Amino acid sequence: MLSRLFIWLQYILPQHAISRLAGRAASSGRPWLRDRLIRRFAKSYRVNMAESERGLDQFSSFNDFFTRSLKPGSRPLADAATEVLSPADGAVSQLGTIKQGRIFQAKGQSYTATELLGGDAALAAKFDGGSFMTIYLSPSDYHRVHMPVGGSLNSTAYIPGELFSVNTVTAENVPRLFSRNERLSCVFDTDHGSVASVMVGAMIVASIETVWSGLVTPHRKSIDIQQFGGAAGPAPKLAAGAEMGRFLLGSTVVLLFEPGKVHWSPELKAGHTLRMGQSIGTFAD
C-alpha cells in the first residue's frame, strides 16, 4: 500500500519545481541553513567524514559538502591495464547483456539503449549485444563519478526528461525509469571501443557537473548534443580513475560497453556494494 502511494505521488508531484527548490537550498551559503542541512544530513545518513579532506564546518554550501573530495588514498585503483574500474561508490542495481537493444531495469521492466542515449539509434547499435551495468549512488555515498577506463571524449548529450526518485521501488514500478529521467550521456573513444557513461538525474537532483564544461544547465526542453575532437577542437582526455563529473544531489550511473569487450566480475549481482576504483570486470579484447 505504501509503495503504491509512493509511486502515485511520483506522478503527481511537481518534480522539477521541487528539484529547483532543493537546488536553491543546497547552494545557499547562509550559515544558519547551510550548517543545519550539512549536520543533519551527515548524522541521518552516517556519512563517513573520516575520509573527507575537510571537516563539517569547512564547506561553503550543502552542495560543496555533498560533492566533497576524499583524502588521497581513500579509493585505491585496481590495475587499469586489465580491469574495468567502478566509476563510483554505490550499489549494483543491475548488470548484464544488452539484448536486442534492450537494457534490463528490474523484474518486468526494461528500456532501450536508443531511448537512454537520446534517440541516437546508430550509437545504440554499437552497444547491442554488449555489456551494461547500472550503479545507484545512495545519499551517503561519495558523489563524484570517475572513468571506468581511460579515453577521449567523443560526444555528450544532455537529454531532458522527468525526475522520478530512483530506488528499488521506482525501478520496479516506473516503466523505462532511466530512459525517462533527465540525464547526461557521455561517450568516450577508448582502446576497448566506444564506452558510454550516462549520469541519470532524479527528484531533488539539482544538476550535474562535468570536469570539461562545468555545470550542465538543467531543465532544458530539447536535447543538447556536443561533439568533441576533429573540427570541434581538441577532445578532453581522461585517464582511468580520473574524475569526469559529479552529482549535485545524485542518482545513478549506467555504463555501456560494446560486444566482446568486457567480462563483468562473476561475484557481482544486484545489491552488491561498490567502491570507486575497485575492479568490476576484466577486458576481453
Three-state SS at 148: coil
Pairing outcome for strands 144-146 and 243-248: antiparallel
Listed residue (34, 68, 15, 63) closest to 207, CA to CA: 63
285 as an active site residue: the answer is: no
Phi, psi angle pair for 20, to nearest 5°: -65, -40
74 as an active site residue: the answer is: no
- The enclosing H or E element of 132 equals strand 131-136
**Could you tell me the pTM of the whole model?**
0.92
Residues 6+ positions from 125 with CB-CB distance below 8 Å: 101
Size of the chain, expressed as the number of residues it contains: 285
* Residues 261, 60: Cα–Cα separation, whole Å: 42
* pLDDT tens by residue, the chain, 285 residues: 657 776 677 677 666 677 677 678 777 889 899 999 999 999 999 999 999 999 999 999 998 998 999 999 999 999 999 999 999 999 999 999 999 999 999 988 999 999 999 999 999 999 999 999 999 998 889 999 999 999 999 999 999 988 888 888 888 888 999 999 999 999 999 999 999 999 998 877 657 889 998 888 655 678 899 999 887 778 999 999 999 999 876 689 999 999 999 999 999 999 999 999 999 999 997
192 as an active site residue: the answer is: no
* Residues 190, 271: Cα–Cα separation, whole Å: 28
Q: 199: how many CB neighbours lie within 10 A of its CB? A: 28
* Residues 202, 252: Cα–Cα separation, whole Å: 8
* Residues 171, 177: Cα–Cα separation, whole Å: 6
Active-site residue (options: 52, 86, 89, 143):
89
> Helix 31-44 to helix 15-27 angle, to the nearest 10 degrees?
110
* Residues 118, 99: Cα–Cα separation, whole Å: 18
pLDDT value for 163 = 80
* Residues 151, 146: Cα–Cα separation, whole Å: 12
Active-site residue (options: 86, 131, 165, 251):
251
pLDDT value for 219 = 58
Output the CA angle 177-115-90, nearest 5 degrees.
45
Active-site residue (options: 93, 131, 143, 146):
146
pLDDT value for 158 = 93
* Residues 279, 282: Cα–Cα separation, whole Å: 8
pLDDT value for 87 = 98
Residues 6+ positions from 270 with CB-CB distance below 8 Å: 92, 93, 94, 95
Listed residue (188, 183, 185, 192) closest to 238, CA to CA: 188
> In the block, which residue shows the cell 532511466?
178
pLDDT value for 10 = 66
Taking the domains of the chain in order of start, what are their residue ranges?
A: 2-66, 83-283
